[in-house]
Structure 1
Amino acid sequence: MHGWMFSSSLYDLLIIRGLFATVKMVNYEVIVYTSNLAGAPTMNKVFIKLVGTEGESKKQWLISLKGASDIIRGAAPGFSVCCPTSIGKLVLIELEKHRLPLLPEDSWFPAKVQVKSPEGDTYTFPIYRWITDSKVQRFREGTALTVLEDNHHLGRYSRQQELKLREEDYRWNVYAEGLPHSMKAESNLSLPCEVRFSFTKSTEFFYTASSGLTKLKLMGLTTCKKAWTNIDDISRVFCSKKTEISDYVKEHWTEDAFFGYQFLNGVNPMLIRRCEALPSNFPVPDEMVFLSGQCSLAHEIKNGNIFLCDYKQLNGLPTNTINGKKQYLTAPLVLLHKTPDDKMKPIAIQLKQTPADDNPVFLPTDSEYDWLMAKIFVRSADFNEHQMNVHLLRTHLLAEVFAVALLRNMPMVHPLYKLLVPHTRYTLQINHLARALLISENGVFTQFSASGGEGMLTLLKRSLSSVTYTSLCIPDDIAERGLENVPNFYYRDDGLKVWDIIHRFVQGIFGHYYKDDCAVEQDSELQKWISDIFEHGFLSKECTGIPQRLTTVAELVKFATMVIFTCSAQHSAVNTGQFDYGGWMPNCPISLQRPPPTKKGTASKATMLQTLPDVNTTVQGLSTLWLLSKQSSDFVAFGQYPEDHFCEEIPTKLIKDFQGDLEVLSAIIKNRNKGLEVPYTYMDPAEVENSVAI
């Protein structure tokens, strides 16, 4: 941050000197900090007024001692706002910005204002927003206050005015019936300034998006509608875009142990569950999977060693047409066995939901390509399930609901706003871009994924109907899926630790501001926030288990923990590794262009290549995964708060303790990963972004 200090005009100085002859004045020392964002300083005139419990100062022009260049550098001594008498405890400040003659109107991004009173108290006023016009902007003193504690009439008035403006700026929009509601915005430029990308973020994002395809366009691959004729050609084309894990995937993607490993620690760890009884539509007799009487399937189910992945949400989805060819997407059932050496291996795959003669159960003992083709259809199904449900819906779209509900219903002075606003950074713009570039009529997933078009919206609607509150809370979700004791499950191990650290932190924050359950129940702003989430995020469906009201501190703590976890660690877990596991296309085909095999003994290397997506479809899919996995240089790591919204001693200490706990966990994860063949980094707090920002 750059400190920006000001001196009064000559006229003001003469007035003040005249007054000093008859009246003893009191001085308030003011420091205004301007953000170090590109374009943050202003060349306009800035005025300030201090408002306290016993009165207010006159509006006073603040001008840099050393001219406009000093605004950029910072480095000025203090400036005094003078009043005839003390105006009491400061409640708020008013800022105005006006254009100087011959100079254009510009934007200004002040970070905070600090004021030292004549009584020796220092007040901090967090701002952290763009001021773009000449309207009066009011900002509250930084001590967090719920609506019940905000007793001063000026404070309550400014609170009401702030929320009135917010409701106009952040309006709900129905993107599609049956989906969570979104932020109403015609374009990125119509989003409020404070939620848009920084110049750095915007530049890097669009450069990555364009550069990812430029070389491939020059090679003619983006328009090549031919099938791959040699699997090695895929690696030669994408040799410039790879990671250590994508290289590992390329070498091991055909192995059963690695296929099973991905259900635990790949980008979609949300589907696998312990199998307590075989589904009636998945007939797998013992002799199919356990040869020579080694053990029985019933025995292994009883011992908790059998697991199921069921892609039933994909059943019957209308599929895409790409390059004039119908695409195929199955709804597989996959049975996995935890072996005595703690590997998770597939033992049976049925590609369609209804048992039939033309829907065989594929086994590891089948021919190499029969078994491999079955696994490829599963991996393609997993790609579509992951992108639409696990990634887009359960992190991006819900994070947008949490963000809009917060910005509409919580004034900046509310402790919930201060806690959650860092976890909304860039979410509204990245989601607007996702709707424009990925799932619009001409979006990449609409055009090139198997579920694109009508199927995509159907899948999203089905997915929302399956979302429950417990499935969004990792301790409940792991228990519900029966995965507490599965070995080598790093998503669970790291996720539960992150959840626990967040929960303790949130418990400390809200324990400070809410002394009893009654304070939660009577907080009208809090109740409007949760009601908005229930209505606009979960379409008022009580079966989701999402609370419609919050009645206890414990309920508030759990819900806020879920929000933070979803917007940070969970998003990282299902987003960051997309290119790692999808960079080698055969491991995660975006679409498949031949129907699934209806009998055994028909698959070959040639039919596999004919089934994989065409060259241009592959190019579009992998370029998108590269973009979605690329970390920005203005990335903010989880638990780091460049903006000081909390200023009191106890919350500040809780934040430091929170950051310390995350640092310890990060060290533990890094140390563990040294001994892993495939390191799991997606829940390492140092690698997790604070918000859904990509």
Structure 2
Amino acid sequence: MGVYRVRVSTGCSFYAGSKNQVQLWLVGQHGEASLGTCLRPARGKEVEFTVDVPEYLGRLLFVKVCKKHILQDDAWFCNWISVQGPGPSGDEFYFPCYRWVETKAILTLPEGTGSTVVDDTQGFFKKYREEELQARRKIYRWGNWKDGLILNMTGAKKEDLPIDERFLEDKKIDFEASLVKGLADLAVKDSLNALACWDDLDDFNRIFWCGQSKLAVQVKDSWKDDAIFGYQFLNGANPMLLRRSTALPDRLMFPQGMEELKINLEKELHEGTLFEADFALLDGIKANNFLCCQQYLAAPLVMLKLQPNGTLLPMVIQLQLPKVGTDPPTLFLPTDPPMTWLLAKCWVRSSDFQLHELQSHLLRGHLMAEVFAVATMRCLPPIHPIFKLMIPHLRYTMEINVRARTALVSDNGIFDQVVSTGGGGHVELLKKAGAFLTYRSFCPPDDLADRGLLEVKSSYYAQDALRLWEILLRYVEGIVNLYYKTNEAVKEDTELQTWCKEITEIGLLGAQDRGFPVSLQSLDEASRFVTMCIFTCTGQHSSIHLGQLDWFTWVPNTPCTMRLPPPTTKDVTLKTVMATLPNFHQASLQMSITWQLGRRQPIMVALGQHEEQYFSGSKPKMLLKKFQEELAALDKEIEMRNAKLDMPYEYLRPSLVENSVAI
């Protein structure tokens, strides 16, 4: 009983406010009190009022919210509600929301301290948890975009998504405006080049006049260099293929007269300086055919040597796997005629485009993040500390993925129109790549050790990924240890165990045979699993996403398709190269989409900098502050290192890493 001071915060997006009134109830350990229809929320405003409550409520547990419907059925975006108890020294209770409140539905907001099932010994939150998850599972249902792929959120179009998963207006306007601009640029480039000759590599300059980055200009000027070719395996848009060789690959066959090459490779192997990038996943994938024009794919193998100064140089390229009963495939060497060697490298880079976009970016970034998002919404109630930890890193993921499935990789989408794995090959490739989704490969300390990159100082990706993982792990460990005091508490948390199992057994289609856990048995296991989820949604996605504008804008460096079969001889001319690379329309479309999706996003939240406060209490806030300070320190270190580099590596710089898979 007494006077309560209530504050209510409304979001800042265009339609966050409501013209209707909102009714509130306070629910405490000893009772419930209606505050009546006490406010009409306005966009971006914080409203404060006092109310005299005659009942004794005890410690507050929930605030209930209901938005009335009088004239206009408009949703209201509530940030949070704060309630201070009676008297000058009354406790203040914080109720995070950050959700849309729709008409008639009563939304129950638990106090923000956070609680596991094990903590709730008196059962204050038991009914709430059960009802919340029951309601969520009706809304958040598993879907299956294509048989054989990991699961996704059900819904064929963005309008099918729950309102809380949709872009807010600022994000929606920016995204759709960039699409219009990209298409306008494409139309201009097509009209200017429709009748022009396209027979020299310099002709690509005709479409290289808008949206490029500073590094993209460097790439344009130096893309033919072997050092730049090798550098991209270490620090380019797709640093996930390179590994240190432990033996000469079985597929590498040496035609007669190449004994010296084998000796040189074995020498580098013995010294630990031999590396490889194998694109065998592309073998057997059906190439696209659009507008009655057949496109082509290769499955290259590249062997590279690491120089003492850290430069990675290619030694040999094999474009196809050996076939039984045929001669060994042609091996291409740096000593070959310049056009021959250049075309072989273009084939490697085109193959890298396919694996980058489909395996590293879409599958290992976007689709994995969606599995985490759906499982989190189905298995963890908002009061759960791991929900609070995960939710900032799941923002916008479902909508951006639906947009990808309906525009990029859909039937007659961008891939079908312009990419050599389009027309069904891209789905085939995604299915094959699913077998390589191992738990270790999503944890940088294990992945980098398995690939022999931990000691490669010129791999800035490896250095930065490891540092970022360690900082993130410390933050997650801090939260986990705050809410779980023993390993037994982890084991007994049925919600946490269900979440882990649903990710592995359902979302990932039974990935326990690839090392993913179906249960979490200790504090360390829980911390590692949560860190893996968050790192995948943040650092790992950014390391793959941010490089597109730099490395894919100059189309010859990473062609989206190839129009002639891979060469089987070394008789290559400039005419052969130009007839193989994308034509001006394909190149323009590649540049347009690369700009739209790869540009630095103005509506972007950097890692750890989210404004939403899901935790109340000083201890979680202190842990977040320490996390932010460590990220800032790493950001400064990377900035200082990059100042000394000809090509700065920024894709894991914390201030540029997005807090979720949102683009």
Residue type matched to 1:31 in 2? R
Structure 1 match to 2:83? 115
Residue type matched to 2:592 in 1? S
- The more displaced of 486-495 and 615-624 is 615-624
**Which digits, 9 at most, give the CA deviation of each residue in 1:624-656, with x for residues without a partner?**
111111233220001112100011111110000
For residues 282-431 of structure 1, the aligned pairs below 5 Å read: 282-284=252-254, 288=258, 296-354=264-322, 356-357=326-327, 359-431=329-401
Select which of 521, 533, 546 maps to 2:491.
521
2:22 is the alignment partner of 1:46: yes
CA contact (8 A) 1:27 1:82 kept: yes
Using the alignment, how far apart are the partners of 2:197 and 2:579 within structure 1?
A: 6
Assess, with a 3 A threshold, how the Cα gap between structure 1 residues 323 and 316 changes in structure 2: closer, same or farther.
Answer: same
Residue type matched to 2:655 in 1? A
**Which digits, 9 at most, give the CA deviation of each residue in 1:84-119, with x for residues without a partner?**
24210001011111123xx31211111110001126
Structure 2 match to 1:530? 500
For residues 80-159 of structure 1, the aligned pairs below 5 Å read: 80-100=50-70, 103-118=71-86, 120-159=90-129
CA contact (8 A) 1:53 1:88 kept: yes
Select which of 644, 650, 658 maps to 2:613.
644
Residue type matched to 2:83 in 1? V
Select which of 470, 474, 480 maps to 2:444.
474
2:449 is the alignment partner of 1:484: no
Using the alignment, how far apart are the partners of 1:630 and 1:251 within structure 2?
A: 20
2:554 is the alignment partner of 1:584: yes
Q: SS in structure 2 opposite 1:128?
A: strand
Assess, with a 3 A threshold, how the Cα gap between structure 1 residues 372 and 416 changes in structure 2: closer, same or farther.
Answer: same
Structure 1 match to 2:429? 459
CA contact (8 A) 2:444 2:469 kept: yes
**Which digits, 9 at most, give the CA deviation of each residue in 1:200-252, with x for residues without a partner?**
11111111112112133144359959983232222222212211111011111
Shift of 1:432: 0.2
Larger Rg: 1
Using the alignment, how far apart are the partners of 2:403 and 2:506 within structure 1?
A: 20
- The more displaced of 384-393 and 296-305 is 296-305
Select which of 492, 496, 502 maps to 2:472.
502
**Which digits, 9 at most, give the CA deviation of each residue in 1:295-333, with x for residues without a partner?**
843232111100011111001111001331211110011
CA contact (8 A) 1:327 1:593 kept: yes
2:591 is the alignment partner of 1:615: no
Assess, with a 3 A threshold, how the Cα gap between structure 1 residues 308 and 493 changes in structure 2: closer, same or farther.
Answer: same
Residue type matched to 1:44 in 2? N
Structure 2 match to 1:12? none
Select which of 569, 573, 595 maps to 1:626.
595
- The more displaced of 348-357 and 314-323 is 348-357
2:595 is the alignment partner of 1:660: no
Shift of 1:447: 2.4
Structure 2 match to 1:209? 179
Q: Which runs of 5+ in 2 are unaligned?
A: none
Using the alignment, how far apart are the partners of 2:189 and 2:656 within structure 1?
A: 34
2:515 is the alignment partner of 1:545: yes
Structure 2 match to 1:9? none
Using the alignment, how far apart are the partners of 1:525 and 1:367 within structure 2?
A: 63
CA contact (8 A) 1:227 1:614 kept: no
> What's the TM-score, normalizing by structure 2?
0.96
Using the alignment, how far apart are the partners of 1:287 and 1:484 within structure 2?
A: 36
2:38 is the alignment partner of 1:62: yes
Using the alignment, how far apart are the partners of 1:505 and 1:74 within structure 2?
A: 32
CA contact (8 A) 1:222 1:620 kept: no
Shift of 1:72: 4.2
CA contact (8 A) 1:348 1:363 kept: yes
Residue type matched to 1:623 in 2? S
**Which digits, 9 at most, give the CA deviation of each residue in 1:538-590, with x for residues without a partner?**
21133211001111111110011111111001101001110210000000000
Assess, with a 3 A threshold, how the Cα gap between structure 1 residues 225 and 267 changes in structure 2: closer, same or farther.
Answer: farther
Assess, with a 3 A threshold, how the Cα gap between structure 1 residues 73 and 420 changes in structure 2: closer, same or farther.
Answer: closer
Q: Which runs of 5+ in 1 are unaligned?
A: 1-24
Q: SS in structure 2 opposite 1:113?
A: strand
Assess, with a 3 A threshold, how the Cα gap between structure 1 residues 348 and 286 changes in structure 2: closer, same or farther.
Answer: farther
Structure 2 match to 1:20? none
CA contact (8 A) 2:360 2:544 kept: yes
Q: SS in structure 1 opposite 2:125?
A: helix
Residue type matched to 2:141 in 1? R
- Residue identity (%): 40
**Which digits, 9 at most, give the CA deviation of each residue in 1:183-204, with x for residues without a partner?**
0123212211111111011111
Assess, with a 3 A threshold, how the Cα gap between structure 1 residues 133 and 226 changes in structure 2: closer, same or farther.
Answer: farther
Q: SS in structure 2 opposite 1:57?
A: strand
Using the alignment, how far apart are the partners of 1:186 and 1:296 within structure 2?
A: 54
Using the alignment, how far apart are the partners of 2:553 and 2:259 within structure 1?
A: 32
**Which digits, 9 at most, give the CA deviation of each residue in 1:441-464, with x for residues without a partner?**
011012211111221111101101
Shift of 1:437: 0.7
CA contact (8 A) 2:189 2:588 kept: no
**Which digits, 9 at most, give the CA deviation of each residue in 1:345-367, with x for residues without a partner?**
00000100116547211111110
2:469 is the alignment partner of 1:493: no
Q: SS in structure 1 opposite 2:101?
A: coil
Residue type matched to 1:298 in 2? E
- The more displaced of 210-219 and 542-551 is 210-219
Residue type matched to 2:343 in 1? M
Shift of 1:276: 1.4
Using the alignment, how far apart are the partners of 1:286 and 1:435 within structure 2?
A: 48
2:575 is the alignment partner of 1:606: yes
Using the alignment, how far apart are the partners of 2:342 and 2:293 within structure 1?
A: 23
Assess, with a 3 A threshold, how the Cα gap between structure 1 residues 441 and 288 changes in structure 2: closer, same or farther.
Answer: same
